[in-house]
Chain A
Amino acid sequence: MSEHSLGEFEELVLLFVAAYNNEAYGVLILENLEEKLGKKVNISAVHVALKRMENKGFVESSYGGITGERGGRRKKFYSITSLGKKVLDRQYELRTSIYKQIPKISFGQ
């Protein structure tokens, strides 16, 4: 499992890639992240996470078409791979299984 490790921030990015499968690209992920987290995120951080996960084989990417936007640069869209999905699932299972072990804790209200 160690080679399939996923950092917390990477996991968030991967979730967005999965959520907007084939439509996800840098700025979109960044804006969603900022909205959900409620804090400023640097675009470079998103790119670093994406590149790292691409190297690990969790996501794959393809270029979109040229438009007049973005100074003529193409967008690079990311989609999740089956391995990426598996890792995500496993992570989710792990969390929920541990979460379920939590006994009912009363905080004495």
Chain B
Amino acid sequence: MKIQPPKIAWRFLRWFCREDYLEEVEGDLIELFEKRYDESPSMAKRRFIWSVIKYFRPAFIKSFKNVNNSNTVSMFKNNIKIAWRTLKGQPFFTFLNTFGLAIGLAGGLLISLFIYDELSFDKMFDDAERIYRVNIDNKIAGEVNKYAAVSGPLAEVMTKDYPHIEKITRFRHTKSKLIREINAVHNVKEDHVVGADTSFLNMFGLDLLVGDPRTAFSEKNTLVLTRSAAEKHFGLNDALGKQLILDNEEVYMVTGVIEDFPENSFLRDHSVFISISSFDDHDSPAWNIWSFPTFVKLKEGANVSDFQNYLGEVKDRYLIPWAMKTIPGLTMEVLKEQEEKTGNYMIFGATPFVDTHLHSPNLSGEFSLNGDIQDIYILFSIGVFLVLLACVNFMNLSTARSLKRSKEVGIRKTLGSNRPALIVQFLTEASLVTFLSLLLAIILAIITMPYFNASSGKSIHIPFEEPVFWFILFGATLMLGLFSGSYPAFLMSKFSPLKGLRMGAEKTSGGARTRSLLVVVQFAVSIFLIVGTLVIFQQLRFIQKKDLGFQKDQVLVLNDIGMVGDQKETLKNEVERLGNVQSVSLSSYLPTPSERGGTTYFPEGRVPHADAAIIIDQWEVDFDYAKTLNLNIISGRDFNEQLMTDSSAVLLNEAAVAMLGKTPENVLGLRITDDFRKESEKDMHFYTVIGVVRNFHFETLRNSIDALSLVVGKESDRMMVKLKASDFSETIAGIESVWDKLASGQPFSYYFMDDSFNETYKAEQRLSKVFVVFTTLSIFIACLGLFGLAAYNAERKAKEIGIRKVLGATVAQVTYKLSSDFLKLVAVAIVVSLPLAWFIMNKWLEDFSYRIDISWWVLVLAAFLAIIISILTVSQQSIKAALSNPVKSLRSE
């Protein structure tokens, strides 16, 4: 025969197919194959394989009952049978073993899925590994900042200069938008809106559900919605060509609908994509607006470090020449000299796109919250710990039980069983237990998944439909079974048949030393986790309780008050008049972490001397800001509505005063300006420092306090309402009715400031939850193990106890004797793990600028807990043994 059907499929068919059908089936298949081969060989092969697979059904499969009568197979069957009987024979230990292992496996499974999800971020986009995000690395006034969004003109410059770029796309950050259909009354708020370039879809390999991908972003005032956003407003199929009003003023046309972005992509939150030409500054030559996240796809084989070098030059070639044009008197030399003196720098660079989620911290201008590779490492180690603990348990219990079985081993050996056969037998048994545990673990994982998702903020499901998942799961379980079964198997198969038969296991203390070591490891890990949990909790409490320099309690924040138009003051006055409202303030700036830009100030007389400049935050606030937040004025005074001059007054915080090189007292009256682009100092607008506020924490406590200036301004899109302690719901209802009067049809949305503050520490809270859960689990597993060992020990020493009691030992003495062995092990574990825990948790705390010291009592408490738990676990068994009637245990001899 010249042409052969696919070998493997054919062999498979011959293996499973009923003999009496085989000839016919084979004949027909070959005939078809030959006929089809002339048309297309690959098609013929494919269809052959497919047909073979379709034959794999009960009607065509031969009976295997008496076919494979080889020795290996029947031994295997026998092993399984024996294993099953042994397991059934000691239900208590089987339960401890399977349950402990199942918990470990379930934990490991959940953690693996979590890690897999985190690692898969953004990898679904076309050629993701060739995409780079351009960043800015900036140090100014002693503070390092990184930006994930860059200057607008950069994209064009790169396309022109750098030949190895295949594609480039730009976004434009913008704030949330109120959206309604052109003749609708009610607005819907879309929180995540972004401007997108014409090349956006092409760059990431995306397609539109409706609309033309080539022209979707080319016109001004057009936008593309995600599927869910489109369905919210008018349904998927009607969306195209519809007109929408944004923020009650601009009319936009829908030019397309895009599929929702997957949960593990950087655009997961975004629902509205506005064509970039709708932004006035999209073609502005200004290099100082860092609002354009820019992504570059390099050509295949392009050199990344070469690209980085190129980006390093962009500043000198483009940004500085532009700056020299706009700021009179600025020269390259002045700049260089100034940079040298202050240590300031600013440089463009690139981050691999697939690294942005885990390997890059949260930069300013990021699309969505990043994960942290460190969390992944922590979780990974916890997962490994957990599975390891469970395995250790398994080994411990099996070896302990094994001594009971030395008789069985003795008889088997006498009857001619060799060591490998015994090893195989015990390994089979171990694997059986692991697979039972796997079943239980999967059930546990299914049950706990919703809770896990809720606390980790993910939407993970167990990929039962993926063959790879099953493959890995079974593979890992088998490995685990072999790994944890290997030690007991080798130990047990070593027993000498003579000893085993003559005196049972009473004297052989097989593997006692290893067992002790394993118990120490288990408890060391548990104690470490206890310390970790306590420290994280303390730090979180410290953050929540810390005096932030302002009062965040009972402060209600109203969003988007721009919706009332020019009636902001009316809104404020009406709300102020409500009972239980202490004060009201309008501002866009809240003392919670968010993105802000710096403003450059020069003191009077020193404009524009670069070395006198300070770059600090500038917040526009109203007259009641300090009052509403309870800010502490340490010198000077607060803004006063009665004084006309206060429109050009400024409040500084202590950090800003320090930057100016002044004290809170002598800074009063100083005049500073941010209006330095004017020709003459006379035309510039100056602010007079009227007061200094005590530093307050407006960034997270991981950072130190930034310098800040407060000026009076009319721009505001939020309202803060300080409430008196009372039933809030009534007051909120009052505020809502005022709102409905002034802004009818607009969504009323509010939150409490301390809630949003807590939001900032979500990562830590999540970590603490994870720690609590896994600490509990690991302690539980360790206790299961200890419990099993204690039970076994008591049983093994039954005779010894009987003799001791006959000779006059008290119950207390016997209990002590039985428990002390275990407590010694726990003590060793404490000595080993406490210093380690102390060291590692100190490292973790170093991330926080404001942190607790780990106090000694935390360590003592952890040790104490471990001892108490182990005493509770062990003593129950010990006391039971000690109380038993010695006659029972001694009679049998």
User: Could you list which residues of chain A lie within 8 angstroms of chain B, going by C-beta atoms?
Assistant: 25-27, 30, 42-45, 47-48, 51-52, 63, 69-71, 73-76
Contacts and interface: CB of A to CB of B under 8 A. Distances in A.
A48 B32 contact: no
Interface residues of B, number: 20
A10 B117 CA distance: 48
B59 to A, nearest CB: 6
Given A42-B54, A44-B51, A48-B59, A27 B25 contact: no
Given A48-B57, A51-B59, A27 B31 contact: yes
Contact of B27 (A44, A51, A73): A73
Contacts of B24: 25-26, 47, 73-76
A27 B59 contact: no
Nearest to A52: B59
A75 B1 CA distance: 18
Given A51-B21, A73-B23, A74-B23, A43 B59 contact: no
B28 A27 contact: yes
A44 B31 contact: no
B55 interface: yes
Select the residue from A26, A42, A44, A48 with max chain B CB neighbours within 10 A.
A44
Given A47-B24, A71-B26, A27 B54 contact: no
Select the residue from A45, A51, A52, A73 with max chain B CB neighbours within 10 A.
A73
A40 to B, nearest CB: 9
Interface in B536-568: none
Given A48-B57, A51-B21, A43 B27 contact: no
8 contacts: A43-B28, A44-B55, A47-B55, A47-B60, A48-B59, A71-B1, A71-B30, A74-B24
Contacts of A42: 50-51, 54
A71 B24 CA distance: 11
Nearest to A70: B27
Nearest to B48: A43
Interface string B334-368: 00000000000000000000000000000000000
B5 to A, nearest CB: 9
Interface of B: 1, 21, 23-32, 35, 50-51, 54-55, 57, 59-60
The 10 closest A-B pairs by CB, nearest first: A73-B27, A26-B28, A44-B54, A76-B24, A70-B27, A71-B30, A70-B31, A44-B55, A27-B31, A27-B28
A25 B28 contact: yes
B23 to A, nearest CB: 5
A43 B673 CA distance: 87
B54 A73 contact: no
B748 to A, nearest CB: 58
A49 B737 CA distance: 74
A71 B32 contact: no
A76 B25 CA distance: 9
Contacts of A69: 31
Given A25-B28, A70-B31, A74-B27, 4 more contacts: A30-B32, A43-B51, A71-B26, A71-B30
A73 B21 CA distance: 12
Contacts of B35: 27
Contacts of A74: 23-24, 27
Main secondary structure of the interface of A (DSSP, over half): helix
A73 B27 CA distance: 5
A44 B59 CA distance: 11
B495 to A, nearest CB: 54
Select the residue from A42, A70, A74, A75 with max chain B CB neighbours within 10 A.
A70
A25 B29 CA distance: 12
A23 to B, nearest CB: 14
B61 to A, nearest CB: 12
Select the residue from B21, B27, B57 with max chain A CB neighbours within 10 A.
B27
A35 to B, nearest CB: 14
Nearest to A72: B27
Contacts of A25: 24, 28
A74 to B, nearest CB: 6
Select the residue from B21, B23, B28, B30 with max chain A CB neighbours within 10 A.
B28
Nearest to A45: B54
A71 B10 CA distance: 13
B45 to A, nearest CB: 15
Contacts of A47: 21, 24-25, 28, 55, 60
A94 B51 CA distance: 35
A27 B31 CA distance: 8
A14 B32 CA distance: 21
Contacts of B25: 26, 47
A27 B27 CA distance: 9
A59 B60 CA distance: 18
Nearest to A50: B24
A63 B24 CA distance: 9
Contacts of B59: 48, 51-52
Contacts of B26: 71, 73
Contacts of A45: 54
A48 B59 CA distance: 8
B57 A43 contact: no
Contact of B32 (A27, A51, A63, A73): A27
A16 to B, nearest CB: 14
A106 B196 CA distance: 58
Nearest to B54: A44
Contacts of A63: 23
A30 B60 CA distance: 18
Contacts of B30: 70-71, 73
A74 B21 CA distance: 11
A74 B28 CA distance: 9
A42 B1 CA distance: 24
A74 B23 CA distance: 7
Nearest to A78: B24
A63 B21 CA distance: 12
Contacts of A71: 1, 26-27, 30
A71 B26 CA distance: 9
A61 B349 CA distance: 77
Nearest to B22: A73
Nearest to A46: B28
Nearest to B26: A73
Contacts of A51: 21, 59
Contacts of B57: 44, 48
Contacts of B28: 25-27, 30, 43, 47, 70
A26 B21 CA distance: 12
B47 to A, nearest CB: 8
A69 B21 CA distance: 18
Contacts of A75: 24, 27
B494 to A, nearest CB: 53
B21 to A, nearest CB: 7
A50 to B, nearest CB: 9
Nearest to B5: A71
Contacts of A30: 28, 32
Contacts of A48: 57, 59-60
A27 B30 CA distance: 10
B84 to A, nearest CB: 37
Contacts of A73: 23-24, 26-27, 30
A62 to B, nearest CB: 11
A43 B23 contact: no
A26 B28 CA distance: 6
A73 B17 CA distance: 15
B670 to A, nearest CB: 87
Contacts of B27: 26, 70-71, 73-76
Nearest to B25: A47
A43 B1 contact: no
Nearest to A69: B31
A90 B32 CA distance: 34
A43 B51 CA distance: 7
Nearest to B29: A43
B825 to A, nearest CB: 63
Select the residue from B24, B35, B50 with max chain A CB neighbours within 10 A.
B24
Nearest to B57: A48
Contacts of B21: 47, 51
